[in-house]
């Protein structure tokens, strides 16, 4: 620790001449009469340490610090005070082991500081001392009358003493710096946040617009996709339709070609046969001597051909009518007939059901239906052989049963005499082909038709026969009567009547034609016999063969022609169908191309994939909904999508900057907190230590209890309270302590601090003034003990204390001028107090 070795002063206050005061050891005492200049020595030390307030050095202005002379003497020009230090332990931040620091003040009040003789600034001096814990206004310099100040001072000021000795000033500086930075950055943050807020509002508004635009865009896109999908579907459908109809046409055209080929072949054969026939005819003509006969024969042959053709034509007409009747009747009578029976009707030799073969005028329909009864559905066949075949067919197909009327075997009933009141025999009242006359007569031949049952009754009294009335009552030959209301089953008899009639007429005509044909053939045979002998007979045989072949070929060709006509019609229809598809296909293609701006089909398919799986109805529904939704959206700002992106980017950049500033601010706040924490930790450690010392020293001095406490718990910004209760007394309000008690408390505080962090020297100017003998003793003991750690320069009038000094200086005032004498006390007086 730096040690004050010597004080040299000249012209300072009452010291005119140069005086040198050595401080060789720890405990120096200065004594002397009142007004001799003792306190001026303390002032001189404070003066060098940089004290600026002349008032605190008890002068009105700084010039008053210069010796002003007395009544007789002239004053000094200037005052100069120099302090010499021992700095072997480098406590003062100076390289010199024995540095000197001086301050000079002239009459103008100008101060000059020197370090080892070199001029320096006051601040340099203050800084150098501060580093060694020496301050001109430090707690280690207790001016005269100021000892109790520590007890009486403001609690916050007192705490500041702890601040100083704990060294938290370092943190204060740092904190101040950080707070300044914080202030700056806080302004920046506030400014940035205002801008950020504005930007947020802008961006939020824009976002709303953008969201609406995006939704609109999505809806429009979807609508477009749905429409594209619909267009694509229609197009695909048309394409498929076109393909199918083209394929069908191709197929049918192939069939048509084959048919054409067949017809051509048949034509070829026909031509060949006709040529053969012509050749044969020529041969016959040639062979024939009798041209006339030959001509007749030719004519006959031509007539025969014509007649045959007529018969064929009538037969085909009969077949057509037969089919028509069948169709009509199959809607009623045939309704119940099994498919097998229907099949039977198509078999060779099967003429039809009884009902099919008879045509009944409307008036007799009921009478016939009743009289025929079950026979209505009897199957009329040409022969017993056919009947047997039919029965076998039904059996093998398990197709039920039927009754057959074979025309070759059936016995018709003989009619008796028709009573005069009867309308007629039923068989005469209906119409039918003569071919079926046996069947008709078998079923209806024995039944007479009468107007009503009354007539029947009348007839039955004279004649026994089967009678049926027009409304369906029946009287058997035995006299049994069946009757009542009858609901006609057949409504169709009348409907088919015309066809049956026509058919019967045609059949009659065929019969006539066949008679004519037979007579032609007979004539032909006759002329042929006349015309030639054996040779012509051979020719004729040959011709018959050719005729047969020709007939077959013609039949085949006719069939082929019919097929061709049918095929042509089919192809025609298919062409129409294909043309329709083609038109649709073109339309849909144009639509699709216009919609998709000629995009590749596979690209469109990919785009609308999700919609292609949906049925068209669903797509239509979705389209309607979307159109409605888009309508409801009203106008949207599409530009907002791009604008939003741009503004958002700017915003994000800005936000990033703001975040950086905020982070920086937080880091400063953190630093401040860390500083605060360290500051508090350091301060608390000092407080704990000093409090502990204070308690100890106080107990030593007074035997009482004392403590130091912060006004606010753990709040180092509040004041430091002293609590003290001298031995045996209740803890008192500090103000109520006596002067001596206050002095003891102040000393306890001073030493508590000194034990924690000793200053290099202490100047105590009459601090013991208020103490009694015993307490002075205690203080002296403490000073002696503590002076091993630091220098004590004690100004006192108290002999008890003076005697204990390691060296004693006497100050005298002579002729207005102070002088210092080193006093050697006799040994017996020294340390008497001990
Ligand atoms: P006490 O025991 O009463 O405290 P002291 O020894 O401490 O007395 P000081 O206060 O040191 O006395 O000295 C005061 C004396 O110094 C006064 O007599 C005063 O006139 C004198 N003095 C103060 N300033 C000057 C000055 N500029 N020139 C000459 N003498 C001065
Ligand atoms: Mg004094």
What is the per-residue pLDDT for 296? 82
459 with 475: CB under 8 angstroms? no
642: pLDDT strictly greater than 60:
yes
8 Å CB contact between 756 and 721:
no
What is the rounded distance in angstroms from the CA atom of residue 201 to the CA atom of residue 355? Answer: 98
Q: Is the pLDDT of residue 748 over 50?
A: yes
Burial of 302 (0-12, 13-18, 19+ CB in 10 A): exposed
- Is 7 in contact with 21 (CB distance < 8 Å)? yes
- Name every protein residue with a CB atom under 6 angstroms from any ligand 1 atom: 13-14, 32, 34-40, 64, 67-68, 144, 811, 816
Beta strands at 3-10 and 19-22: parallel, antiparallel or unpaired: antiparallel
**Residue 264, both tokens:** 């051509």
Pocket probe mutation, ligand 1, options 10, 12, 14, max atoms within 8 Å of Cβ: 14
Angle at 735 between CA 796 and CA 724, to 5 degrees: 80
> Using one digit for the tens of pLDDT, what is the confidence trace for 281-295?
887 777 666 667 777
Mean pLDDT for 668-695 is 92
What is the tens place of the pLDDT at every residue in 68-98? Answer: 987 767 889 999 999 999 999 888 999 999 9
HSE, CB side, 13 Å, CA atoms: give it for residue 97. Answer: 1
Among the ranges given (300-304, 440-444, 531-535), the one the predictor scored with the smallest mean pLDDT: 531-535
Distance CA 39, CA 681 (A): 39
pLDDT at 128: 93
Structure confidence at residue 670 (pLDDT): 94
Q: Which of 609, 613, 616 is nearest to 588 (CA)?
A: 616
Edge-to-edge strand order for the sheet containing 118-120? 19-22, 3-10, 78-86, 100-106, 111-115, 118-120
pLDDT on residue 496: 66
Q: Quickly state the pLDDT bin for 7 (edges 50, 70, 90).
A: very high
d(CA 746, CA 521) in angstroms, rounded, equals: 176
Q: Is the per-residue pLDDT at 375 higher than 70? A: yes
Check residue 833 and give its pLDDT.
Answer: 40
- Measured in angstroms, how far is the CA atom of residue 361 from the centroid of ligand 1? 176
> If you measure from the C-alpha of residue 773 to the centroid of ligand 2, how many angstroms do you get, rounded to a whole number?
20
Angle, in degrees to the nearest 10, between helices 437-444 and 365-372 = 80
Q: Which atom of ligand 1 is nearest to the CA of 70?
A: 29
State the first-to-last Cα distance of the chain, in angstroms, to the nearest integer. 28
φ/ψ (deg, to 5) at 810 = -105, 135
In tens, the pLDDT along 103-112 reads: 999 999 999 9
Say how far apart CA 50 and CA 415 lie, in whole Å: 177
Q: What is the mean pLDDT of residues 335-340?
A: 54
C-alpha–C-alpha distance, residues 451 and 467, integer Å: 10
> Any idea what the Cα angle at residue 55 is, between residues 50 and 57, rounded to 5°?
55
Q: Residue 829: pLDDT band by 50, 70, 90 thresholds?
A: low
Query: How far does the centroid of ligand 1 lie from the alpha carbon of residue 83, in Å?
Result: 21
Contact call for residues 770 and 744 (beta carbons, < 8 A): no
For 194-208, the pLDDT digits (tens) are 999 999 998 998 999
User: CA-to-CA distance for 264 and 63, rounded, in angstroms?
Assistant: 157
Report the distance separating Cα 632 and Cα 305, nearest Å. 85
Q: From the CA of 82, how far away is ligand 1's center (Å)? A: 20
Å from CA of 37 to ligand 1 middle = 5
Nearest-CA residue for ligand 1 atom 21 is 14
Give the closest ligand to the alpha carbon of residue 797. 1
DSSP state of 760: S
Instruction: Classify residue 64 by its DSSP letter.
Output: G
Determine which helix (DSSP H) or strand (DSSP E) holds 35, and give its type and residue range. none
Indicate the length of the chain as a whole number: 834
Res. 698 pLDDT band, cuts 50 70 90: very high
Q: Can you tell me which atom of ligand 1 is nearest the CA of 64? A: 27
Closest by Cα among 223, 283, 308 to 611: 223
| Digit-coded pLDDT (tens) for 484-525 | 877 665 444 446 677 777 888 888 888 898 899 899 888 888
pLDDT above 70: percentage of residues in the chain? 93
pLDDT of residue 689: 95
Q: Full-prediction pTM beyond 0.85?
A: no
C-alpha 159 to ligand 2 mean position (Å) = 28
Q: If we measure between CA atoms, which residue out of 533, 529, 547, 541 comes closest to residue 287?
A: 533
Nearest alpha carbon, ligand 1 atom 28: 67
Q: Give the separation between CA 771 and CA 377, rounded to whole angstroms.
A: 162
Say how far apart CA 483 and CA 207 lie, in whole Å: 97
| Among 532, 527, 594, 4, residue whose Cα is nearest residue 301 | 527
| Residues 785-800, mean pLDDT to the nearest whole number | 92
Pairwise CA distance, residues 368 & 472, whole Å: 8
Tokens at 544, concatenated: 């018959």
Which whole number is the average pLDDT over 232-257? 92
- For every residue of 710-723, DSSP letters joined together read ESSTT-TTS-EEEE
Which range of 299-313, 621-635, 814-828 scores highest in mean pLDDT? It is 621-635
Which ligand has the shortest distance to the CA of 813?
1
Which residues, at least 6 apart from 582, have a Cβ–Cβ distance to it below 8 Å? 242
């Amino acid at each position: 620790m730096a040690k004050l070795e010597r004080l040299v002063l000249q012209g300072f206050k009452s010291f005119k001449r140069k005086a040198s005061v050595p401080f060789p050891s720890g405990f120096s005492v200065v004594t002397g009469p009142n007004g001799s200049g003792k306190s001026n020595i303390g002032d001189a030390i404070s003066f060098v340490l940089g004290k600026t307030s002349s008032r605190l050095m008890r002068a009105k202005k700084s010039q008053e610090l210069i010796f002003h002379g007395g009544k007789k003497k002239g004053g000094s020009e200037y005052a100069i005070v120099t302090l010499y230090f021992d700095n072997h332990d480098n406590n003062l931040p100076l390289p010199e082991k024995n540095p000197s620091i001086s301050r000079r003040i002239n009459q103008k009040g100008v101060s000059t500081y020197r370090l080892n003789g070199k001029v320096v600034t006051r601040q340099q001096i203050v800084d150098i001392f501060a580093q060694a814990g020496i301050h001109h206004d430090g707690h280690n310099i207790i001016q005269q009358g100021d000892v109790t100040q520590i007890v009486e001072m403001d609690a916050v000021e007192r705490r500041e003493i702890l601040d100083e000795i704990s060294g938290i000033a370092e943190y204060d500086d740092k904190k101040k710096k950080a707070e300044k930075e914080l202030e700056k950055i806080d302004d920046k943050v506030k400014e940035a946040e205002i801008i950020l807020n504005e930007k947020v509002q802008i961006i939020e508004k824009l976002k709303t617009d953008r969201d609406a635009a995006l939704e609109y865009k999505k809806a429009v896109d979807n609508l477009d996709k749905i429409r594209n999908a619909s267009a694509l579907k229609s197009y695909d459908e048309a394409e498929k339709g076109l393909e199918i109809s083209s394929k069908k046409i191709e197929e049918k055209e192939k069939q048509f070609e084959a048919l054409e080929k067949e017809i051509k072949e048949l034509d070829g054969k026909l031509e060949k046969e006709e040529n053969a026939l012509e050749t044969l005819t020529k041969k016959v003509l040639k062979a024939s001597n009798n041209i006339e006969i030959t001509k007749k024969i030719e004519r006959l042959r031509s007539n025969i051909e014509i007649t045959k053709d007529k018969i064929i034509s009538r037969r085909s007409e009969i077949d057509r009518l037969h089919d028509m009747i069948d169709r009509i009747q199959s809607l009623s009578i045939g309704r119940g007939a099994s498919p097998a029976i229907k099949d039977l009707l198509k078999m060779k030799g099967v003429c039809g059901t009884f009902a099919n073969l008879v045509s009944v005028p409307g008036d007799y329909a009921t009478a016939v239906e009743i009289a025929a009864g079950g026979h209505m559905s009897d199957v009329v066949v040409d022969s017993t052989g056919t009947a047997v075949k039919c029965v076998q067919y039904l059996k093998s197909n398990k197709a039920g049963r039927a009754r057959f009327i074979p025309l070759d075997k059936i016995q018709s009933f003989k009619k008796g005499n028709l009573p005069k009141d009867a309308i007629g025999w039923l068989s005469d009242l209906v119409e039918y082909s003569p071919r079926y006359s046996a069947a008709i007569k078998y079923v209806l031949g024995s039944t007479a038709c009468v107007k009503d049952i009354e007539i029947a009754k009348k007839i039955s009294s004279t004649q026994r026969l089967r009678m049926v009335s027009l409304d369906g009552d029946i009287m058997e030959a035995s006299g049994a009567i069946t009757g009542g209301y009858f609901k006609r089953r057949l409504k169709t008899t009348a409907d088919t009547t015309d066809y049956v009639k026509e058919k019967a007429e045609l059949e009659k005509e065929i019969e006539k034609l066949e008679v004519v044909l037979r007579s032609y053939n007979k004539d032909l045979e006759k002329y042929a016999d006349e015309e030639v002998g054996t040779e012509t007979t051979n020719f004729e045989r040959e011709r018959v063969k050719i005729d047969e072949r020709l007939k077959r070929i013609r039949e085949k060709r006719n069939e082929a022609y019919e097929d061709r006509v049918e095929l042509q019609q089919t192809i025609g229809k298919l062409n129409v169908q294909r043309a329709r598809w083609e038109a649709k296909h073109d339309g849909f293609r144009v639509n699709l191309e216009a919609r998709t701006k000629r995009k590749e089909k596979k690209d469109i398919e990919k785009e609308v994939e999700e919609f292609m799986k949906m049925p068209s109805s669903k797509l239509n529904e979705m389209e309607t909904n979307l159109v409605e939704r888009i309508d409801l959206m009203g106008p949207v700002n599409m530009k907002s999508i791009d604008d939003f992106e741009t503004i958002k980017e700017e915003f994000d950049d800005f936000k990033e900057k703001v975040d950086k500033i905020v982070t920086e601010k937080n880091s400063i706040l953190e630093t401040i907190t860390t500083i605060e924490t360290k500051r508090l930790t350091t301060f608390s450690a000092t407080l704990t230590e000093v409090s502990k010392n204070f308690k100890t020293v106080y107990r030593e001095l007074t035997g009482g209890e004392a403590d130091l406490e912060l006004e606010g718990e753990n709040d180092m910004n509040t004041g430091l309270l002293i609590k003290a209760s001298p031995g045996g007394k209740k803890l008192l309000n500090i103000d109520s302590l006596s002067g001596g008690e206050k002095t003891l408390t102040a000393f306890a505080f001073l030493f508590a601090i000194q034990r924690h962090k000793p200053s290099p020297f202490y100047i105590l100017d009459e601090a013991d003034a208020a103490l009694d003998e015993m307490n002075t003793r205690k203080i002296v003991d403490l000073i002696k003990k503590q002076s091993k750690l630091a220098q004590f320069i004690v100004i006192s009038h108290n002999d008890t204390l003076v005697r204990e000094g390691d060296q004693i200086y006497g100050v005298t005032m002579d002729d207005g001028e102070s002088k210092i004498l080193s006093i050697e006390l006799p040994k017996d007086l020294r340390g008497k107090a001990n």
